[in-house]
Amino acid sequence: MFENEQRTELGTLGEFGLIQHIASHFKPKRSDTVAGIGDDAAVIQSENRLVLLCTDHMLEGVHFDLSFHPLKHLGYKAVVSCVSDICAMNGKPGQILVNLGTSNRFSLEAIEELYAGIQLACERYGVDLVGGDTSASQRGLMINVTCYGSAKTETITYRKGAKPNDLLVVTGDVGGAYMGLQILEREKKVFLEHPEMQPDLERFDYIVGRQLKPEARVDVIAQLEELKIVPTSMIDVSDGIASELHQLGAHGKVGFNVYENKLPIDPQTVDIALEFGLNPSIAALNGGEDYELLFTVDQGHFDLIKNLPDMTIIGHATEEIGKYNLITATGNSFEIKAQGWEHFKHLSE
């Protein structure tokens, strides 16, 4: 099956390369497996509906830093990241399983705080915690959430499906979670150097909240259903718009033009990006963990979407396969490279 004749470093593949490599060796054989590895969730046929399955894990020191990430917020965010994947399939979440790896440095009260966040997310999104597993860990805290959801056959949406001239739409605003992380890391550094100084986070409440307590866009899925709009392709923005754009383009065999002045960026994100010497558009394109939805729709839906307060048309699909261009206000065009977070690439740094 796997016949590599020499050692291959994971850093040369990256996260998506590794997924593609594994997926190439596991082709679905069961008739009820509708879609396997490669999308935001797996799809399984169950009588008259489609069951969605996805899983997401968070590792201490990789996905979160407990010096500034409260356990209650962390539990909430762990559920959100998985529910968001169900939303990205135009589906609705139902149940979750939680697997937990923890060391003896965590007390019962600490674990209860983590599960208080999980419980809050369950109530917020109408999902049930129905099981999971716990294990000892010698390398910090590990949380894994598996989410079960469902979708209608006629409205399920995959990463593939975008057609040339389809409108490219993003929900909410982007880049805030990334800039919130920059603030948290800066304040941590200041605190470590000057323990007598208390972190100054009050004026950064919005972007810090975007990082610590994001929300999954179940409301957008409900709104699309009400408007009878079925996206041609969709993905959630967990790794940054640029990376997600490449995913939609690769699966749909299209390119994209994105207009810089259309990117929805909150004023606080703009201010802090400039304070850090960053172009706000770079934060919007390459910052991850916004958990917004990026999707394409037929141009015929333009009038329905153009005035919706929480959806922004930022570009369109093109026939130039693999070409992703950022068009500036002056009409200049620059290649959009996928520079968001990608696991394993960092192992070679």
Q: Which pLDDT band, with edges at 50, 70 and 90, does 344 fall under?
A: very low
Domain stop point among 122, 151, 180: 151
Supply the pLDDT for residue 90: 97
Number of domains in the chain: 2
Supply the pLDDT for residue 343: 46
Residue 269 above 90 pLDDT?
Answer: yes
Where in the chain does DSSP place strands (E)? Answer: 33-35, 42-46, 49-59, 92-102, 128-136, 142-151, 167-171, 233-237, 255-259, 292-297, 311-318, 324-327, 333-335
CATH number for the domain harbouring residue 257: 3.90.650.10
Assess whether 237 and 320 both reside in one domain: yes
Query: How confident is the model over 86-127, as pLDDT tens digits?
Result: 999 999 999 999 999 998 889 999 999 999 999 999 999 999
Whole domain around residue 343: which residue ranges?
Answer: 167-348
Residue 328 lies in a domain: yes
Supply the pLDDT for residue 261: 97
Assess whether 126 and 187 both reside in one domain: no
Q: Which residues pair with 59 in a beta bridge?
A: 142
Assess whether 320 and 215 both reside in one domain: yes
Supply the pLDDT for residue 44: 80
Burial (0-12, 13-18, 19+ Cβ within 10 Å), 6: exposed
Residue 20 lies in a domain: no
Assess whether 182 and 37 both reside in one domain: no
Query: How confident is the model over 16-51, as pLDDT tens digits?
Result: 566 566 666 566 666 666 666 667 787 888 777 899
Residue 8 lies in a domain: no
Domain stop point among 151, 175, 210: 151
Q: Are 208 and 268 in contact (CB under 8 A)?
A: no
Assess whether 141 and 263 both reside in one domain: no
Query: How confident is the model over 42-97, as pLDDT tens digits?
Result: 788 877 789 999 999 899 888 899 999 999 999 999 999 999 999 999 999 999 99
Residue 14 above 70 pLDDT?
Answer: no
Residue located via tokens 């999104």: 125
Q: Are 165 and 192 in contact (CB under 8 A)?
A: no
Supply the pLDDT for residue 70: 96
Query: How confident is the model over 176-234, as pLDDT tens digits?
Result: 999 999 999 998 887 777 776 777 788 899 999 999 999 999 999 999 999 999 999 99
Pairing of strands 142-151, 49-59: antiparallel
Model pTM score: 0.88
Residue 157 lies in a domain: no
Residue 231 lies in a domain: yes
Q: Are 162 and 232 in contact (CB under 8 A)?
A: yes
Supply the pLDDT for residue 116: 98
Assess whether 212 and 328 both reside in one domain: yes
Domain stop point among 151, 185, 213: 151
Assess whether 142 and 114 both reside in one domain: yes
Q: How far is CA 275 from CA 202, 271, 280, in A?
A: 16, 6, 10
| The residue type at 185 | E
Q: Are 341 and 202 in contact (CB under 8 A)?
A: no
Assess whether 271 and 343 both reside in one domain: yes
Assess whether 195 and 236 both reside in one domain: yes
Mean pLDDT rounded to a whole number for the chain: 89
Percent of the chain having pLDDT more than 90? 70
Q: Which residues pair with 326 in a beta bridge?
A: 258, 334
Q: Which of 127, 118, 121 is nearest to 215 (CA)?
A: 121
CATH number for the domain harbouring residue 99: 3.30.1330.10
Residue 281 lies in a domain: yes
Give Dmax over CA atoms of the chain in angstroms: 63
Assess whether 175 and 142 both reside in one domain: no
SS3 339: coil
What one-character DSSP code corresponds to residue 99?
E
